[in-house]
Amino acid sequence: MKKAIEIESLSYSYPDGQQALKDVNLSIGVGESVALIGPNGAGKSTLMLHLNGILRSDGMIRVLGEPLEDKNLKRVRSKVGLVFQDPEDQLFSPTVFDDVAFGPINMGYSEDEVRRRVREALEGVGLEGYEGRSPHHLSVGEKKRVAIATILSISPEILVIDEPTSNLDPRAKWELIELLRGLPVTKIVASHDLEMVKALCERTILLDKGKVIADDSTHRIMSNTPLLVRHGLARPDEVSSLKLEA
Amino acid sequence: MKHSFLDHYSDLDSLIHKLDPRTKFIATFAFVLAMVLTPPTRWYAFALYFALIACVILLSKVPPLYVLKRSLVIIPFVLLIAIFIPFFKEGETAGSYNVWMWELKVTYSGLIVLWNVIIKAWLSVLSMIMLSSTTKFSDLLKGLGRLGLPTVMVMILSFMYRYIFVLVDEVIRMRRAWDSRNFGGKRMWQLKTIGNMVGTLFLRSYEKGERVYGAMVARGFDGQTRTLTDLRFQAVDLYYALGFAVVLALIGTTILLGWGS
């Protein structure tokens, strides 16, 4: 199978010396849908920021077979679309149109092409006619969708999404899951929303304290309750609601 | 939370709203310039300026009362600066009052200066309100960019417009959290917590700035700004600009001919 992302012995420390990633090795195939789960502070977001070279450190990252280097950074970024957790960070333009058009314009597409891409990206997330709206006045669910549209408009081959369902009500969450399921690209989703992971990804990578703990099918990891409990992803035994009542 | 205090009513549909932002910007600028250059004693001319802006207000369908209310906001500031001028300016005395041991004199020339400042400030503010309530802020920025404002400035303004509301929301939320845990205490201590809040707000905005930059870089931003503009001058822009220029020229002629002085 062709590889979308290959990571070899990647380590990263924050500027204050705290180690965020320790010797991470991963390989993700084209067309896969992979969940990156782990408790708060496990290093999920840090790992994602490496995938399109926003953070750089020692270790080797190959995107679609190409090693990530300074000279191909721009091309890699057009292949790997990164959707940030807080849409407020992702949407920085005065109108939805400007935001969705930002990527394509930077990629140097012609005006007609930019307009076509914006229209298609907004159609793709079910928000036709939102071009002139101000991102500030959208609901959280709409903001998340626009944030995804800003990435779809550069038609990436790999979609990397950080916590897509955080802050969403159940209806908006399931609508978003449906939307993501329908996108025909390689997906890497960081989350600790196990319900979504089960619905969206066939493979799951468990990350804790910057290390890969498990890498298996979602079904097998989800049925391994002791593992989930150990890494803060399920209710610990000693916290039982029965005891709380007593 | 919903905020639109910068460009309220900018999504109405009227002749004025349809104009290209550049036309409106240039018209506003010309209007302010002409007015500022008008000698304060041509009362006639100011009536005409007011009539002109009133026509624009009516054409724009923006509620006149709203425009009036907003325009009055500026008056206290102008008064604060200008109210003392009539008392200090030398010249022919219009009236004098004895306040305890003081003799206060009001001079005609001082009153004219006061009138000059107030009427010009007020008419300028009216025209600015018309510009901002008939043009979406994003369109105005595009227009300014096309008129030659450096892209860096346009970007700074556009980020300001985008994030000022986010910050306002943040402040409102912090304020609520503070209120719900504030059970009194010494004034000094309260001031200290407000200081801490300002610091927190600064840190949060700083970090937000970093994340926004990350989001820009992730979509191919390389320090150069590129934009699409869909601004186009239409026939209506030409008519409006011509009409506006003719009216301003007529007012200018009356001033030069010395009417109404």
pLDDT in tens, B84-122: 888 877 777 777 777 777 777 788 888 888 889 999 999
Residue B226 belongs to a domain: no
Q: Are residues B27 and B105 in the same domain?
A: yes
From chain A, the residues in CB contact with B162 under 8 A are: 91-94, 135-136
- Which residue does chain B place closest to A83, by CA atoms? B215
Residue A25 belongs to a domain: yes
From chain B, the residues in CB contact with A133 under 8 A are: none
Yes or no, beta carbons of B215 and A81 under 8 Å apart? no
Top residue of B13, B163, B219, B225 to mutate, by most chain A CBs within 10 Å, is B219
A137 lies within 8 A of chain B by CB: yes
Residue A217 belongs to a domain: yes
Q: Count the Cβ atoms, other than its own, within 10 Å of residue B105.
A: 17
Residue B29 belongs to a domain: yes
Domain containing residue A217: CATH number: 3.40.50.300
Yes or no, beta carbons of A77 and B219 under 8 Å apart? yes
Residue B7 belongs to a domain: no
Residue B100 belongs to a domain: yes
Which residue among A91, A106, A150 places its CB closest to the CB of B221?
A106
A102 lies within 8 A of chain B by CB: yes
Answer whether residue B261 shows pLDDT above 60.
Answer: no
Residue A11 belongs to a domain: yes
Residue B35 belongs to a domain: yes
Q: Are residues B27 and B91 in the same domain?
A: yes
Q: Are residues B72 and B155 in the same domain?
A: no
What are the tens digits of pLDDT across the range A36-72?
A: 999 988 889 899 989 988 888 888 899 998 898 888 8
Selection from B56, B36, B54 nearest residue B252 by Cα: B36
Number of separate domains in chain A: 1
- Position B183 scores a pLDDT of 67
Number of separate domains in chain B: 2
- Which residue does chain A place closest to B2, by CA atoms? A137
- Position A246 scores a pLDDT of 46
- What's the CA gap between A117 and A101, in Å, rounded? 8
User: Can you tell me the mean pLDDT for B47-73?
Assistant: 91
Answer whether residue A245 shows pLDDT above 80.
Answer: no
Which residue among A84, A115, A134 places its CB closest to the CB of B211?
A84
Which residue among A88, A115, A150 places its CB closest to the CB of B219?
A150
Which residue among A49, A102, A135 places its CB closest to the CB of B219?
A102
Residue B123 belongs to a domain: yes
Quick one: pLDDT band at residue B176, thresholds 50, 70, 90? confident
Q: Are residues B245 and B125 in the same domain?
A: yes
User: Can you tell me the mean pLDDT for B135-161?
Assistant: 87
Q: Are residues B197 and B247 in the same domain?
A: no
Residue A47 belongs to a domain: yes
Selection from B65, B50, B61, B69 nearest residue B127 by Cα: B50
What are the tens digits of pLDDT across the range A186-210?
A: 999 999 899 999 999 999 999 999 9
Q: Residue by residue, what is the 3-state secondary structure of chain B? A: CCCCCCCCCCCCCCHHHHCCHHHHHHHHHHHHHHHHHCCCCCHHHHHHHHHHHHHHHHHHCCCHHHHHHHHHCCHHHHHHHHCCHHHHCCCCEEEEEEECCEEEEEEHHHHHHHHHHHHHHHHHHHHHHHHHHHCCHHHHHHHHHHCCCCHHHHHHHHHHHHHHHHHHHHHHHHHHHHHHHCCCCCHHHHHHHHHHHHHHHHHHHHHHHHHHHHHHHHCCCCCCCCCCCCCCCCHHHHHHHHHHHHHHHHHHHHHHHCCCC
Q: Are residues B178 and B83 in the same domain?
A: no
User: Can you tell me the mean pLDDT for B152-159?
Assistant: 88
A188 lies within 8 A of chain B by CB: no
Residue range of the domain that includes A82: 3-92+158-245
- Position A186 scores a pLDDT of 95
Q: Are residues B112 and B170 in the same domain?
A: no
Residue range of the domain that includes B196: 151-218
Residue A21 belongs to a domain: yes
- Position A241 scores a pLDDT of 62
From chain B, the residues in CB contact with A94 under 8 A are: 137-138, 141, 158, 161-162
Report CA torsion sign: B194, B200, B201, B203: positive
- CB pairs under 8 A, 24+ apart, for B106-110? B110/B85, B110/B86
Q: Are residues B190 and B240 in the same domain?
A: no
Q: Are residues B188 and B249 in the same domain?
A: no
Q: How far is A100 from chain B (nearest CA, A)?
A: 10
Residue B144 belongs to a domain: no
- What's the CA gap between A122 and A19, in Å, rounded? 39
Q: In this predicted model, which residue has the larger pLDDT, A139 or A239?
A: A139
Residue A74 belongs to a domain: yes
Residue A76 belongs to a domain: yes
Residue B126 belongs to a domain: yes
8 A C-beta contact, residue A42 and residue A209: yes
Q: Are residues B81 and B123 in the same domain?
A: yes
From chain B, the residues in CB contact with A115 under 8 A are: 228
Share of chain B above pLDDT 70, in %: 95
Which residue among B162, B208, B220 places its CB closest to the CB of A106?
B220
Q: Are residues B132 and B159 in the same domain?
A: no
Residue A71 belongs to a domain: yes
Yes or no, beta carbons of A154 and B219 under 8 Å apart? yes
User: Is A15 in a helix, a strand, or coil?
Assistant: coil
- Which region among A193-207, A212-226, B43-57, B165-179 has the lowest average model confidence (pLDDT)? B165-179
Yes or no, beta carbons of A77 and B218 under 8 Å apart? yes
Q: Are residues B114 and B170 in the same domain?
A: no
